[in-house]
Chain A
Amino acid sequence: MISRVDPEFKQELHKYGLREWNECFHCGNCTAICPLTKDDNLFPRRGIRLAQMGLKKQLVSSVDPWLCYYCGECTETCPRNANPGELMMVLRRYLTSCYDWTGISRLFYTRKIWELAAIILIALGVIISFLVFLPPSPDLFSKPQAFINEQGGVMINSLANGISASRFVQLIEYGDLLMAILVAGFLISNIFHMFYRVILSDRNLKFPFYSYFTEFWSLIYNFVTQARFSKCDNRTYWIGHLLVMTGYTIMFTLIVAFLKEFQIEEIKPWYHWQRLLGYYSTFGILFFLIYTFIGRIRKTDLKMQFSHPSDWMFIVLLFFTAVTGILIHIFRVSGLPAATYFTYLIHLAFLVPMIVIEVPFSKWSHLAYRPFAVYFDRLRRAGQNRQSIVELTPAI
């Protein structure tokens, strides 16, 4: 089928960051030097080609950008300094905005103030609803001892005025559940949209039905271990990424699913599972955040040189959430109920927007898209049961 070349597409792509990649003259050096490329995934050159020619349909239906983990070697050795690595980053942002059928992420990516406004709006919404439903009890300041339990820590669930501890936790749980459903709904619909674009819209792609399941293990395996990331030479990124990923998932599951066991009144000894998990995930998140902050500021490493606002937004929110989380814990242990209450409030004010905005519409969505991309790629590969048409060279 014939597709029409569209020179306007370049201007549109420029909004997603990085202007100079058009002088690529297709020498194939980046695809050859990248350790992750295989026969059908000839990224990053194919991505550059489609972007240069403005073939939107082919671009959106290719999963290549998600298979690149930006080790930066291609940009280093590119003879024309056309930043192929950074273009892959740009294409990931573009694909995120394409998969999102609501069009919100396109809005966030192209006009940064919308994203900021949305975050502030949600934060205010959280604060107000929190203050309305769970108002601070008046004697927080006058009689702080009322909230101290026998170990000297603050009973976190009974800080609200006239609301029993269990009711308090229940309300928070309802909020979390609501948020989780909302986020999951958007994310899964986007994934299905991605599935439609990558697999279904390609008429002549046929593959056995059972391969849906046989290949499913790859989704899980990649989600958990990010095996592909380990193939890049610089492994510290991979370890940092593993830490923050596990830490985040633990915190997320604790809050949404096991809030009752996690947010309890008495202060457990430090070796209790609940504390240990808390410490591990905060350490993981903090390690990653510090490493990324330094990298993005010093711009020594290639992948850190072009920071799009959406990258900063996501790290800043995560950072404040983590910091406020730690503060809550400190205030609880040291018995300061008022401080605990208000930091808890701020903690939520950062946490909720981060999850509601970042996960489905912005950078954080790659946690879903990357494993699915590997999964869809294996589906396509199973479909074509690749035999090379052109027997040019016996590629050993």
Chain B
Amino acid sequence: MEFEPKIVAFLCNWCSYTGADLAGTSRMKYSPSLRIIRVMCSGRICPTFIFKAFQEGADGVLVCGCHPGDCHYNEGNYKCLRRFKLIEKYIRQMGIEPDRIRLAWISASEGKLFAELANEMTQTIKNLGPSTIKAQLEQMV
């Protein structure tokens, strides 16, 4: 059975979640590998969420937020950008390919962009193949 990746996506309630809904109302088709979790702001996404996702066997993590300057809470997305750069460096040491996580700014009107992003990321993850973190963790324990 062809490998169907599982990607955990953290979407901020005001911009990217609305964008995903817009992709829905405009009936844009994209690959069903995304598992969307809604948070109030991209600033709320802390590194533990991303590592927990990998620990639970996710093949990729997508973090979405509002465009810089559009954040409903003024600065949440700047904080998320800073944390993301840190996590990107950090997961290399844990042996996770950096392409498995991705940060994207999606505004409330960019439904089409969200659909393309989902397909694109699924494709990159398919090329990388399933993540082996979960298997390694089970061997260690």
A–B direct touch in complex (beta carbons closer than 8 A): no
**Interface set of B (CB-CB < 8 Å, partner A):** none
A residues sitting closer than 8 Å to B (CB atoms) are none
